[in-house]
Amino acid sequence: MRVVFLGAPGVGKGTQADRVASKFKSVKISTGDLLREAVRNQSPLGREAKSYMDQGKLVPDSVVIGLVRDKLREPSSANGFVLDGFPRTVPQAEELGDVLKSAKTPLDRVLNFQVSREDVIRRLSGRRSCPKCQATFHVDFAPSKTGDACDRCGEALVQRSDDRREAIETRLKVYEEQTAPLIQYYRNLHLLSELDGSGTVDAVFESLSRVLAPYKPT
Q: Catalytic residue among 19, 23, 57, 160, which? A: 160
Distance CA 57, CA 175 (A): 9
Of 31, 77, 129, 144, the one binding ligand AMP by CB under 6 A:
31
Q: What is the DSSP letter of 77?
A: G
How far is C-alpha 178 from the geometric centre of its chain's CA atoms? Answer: 15
CA distances from 128 to 26, 178, 215 (A): 26, 26, 33
Instruction: Name the phi and psi angles at 76, rounded to 5.
Output: -65, -20
Decide: is 6 part of the binding site for ligand AMP (CB under 6 A).
no
- CB proximity list for 200: less than 8 A, separation 6 or greater: none
Q: Exactly one of 2, 13, 36, 123 is catalytic; name it.
A: 13
Give the x-and-dash track for 48-77 against ligand AMP (CB under 6 A). Answer: ----xx--xxxx----x-------------
Q: Which residue is nearest to ligand AMP (CB)?
A: 32
Residues near 111 by beta carbon (within 8 Å), at least 6 away in sequence: 3, 4, 5, 6, 7, 193, 195, 208, 211, 212
35 counts as binding ligand AMP under rule CB under 6 A: yes
Name which of 123 and 171 has its Cβ closer to ligand AMP: 171
Report if residue 197 touches ligand AMP, rule: CB under 6 A: no
162 binds ligand AMP (CB under 6 A): yes
Residues marked as catalytic:
13, 88, 127, 160, 171
Footprint on this chain of ligand AMP (rule: CB under 6 A): 9, 31-32, 35, 52-53, 56-59, 64, 85-86, 88, 92, 162, 171
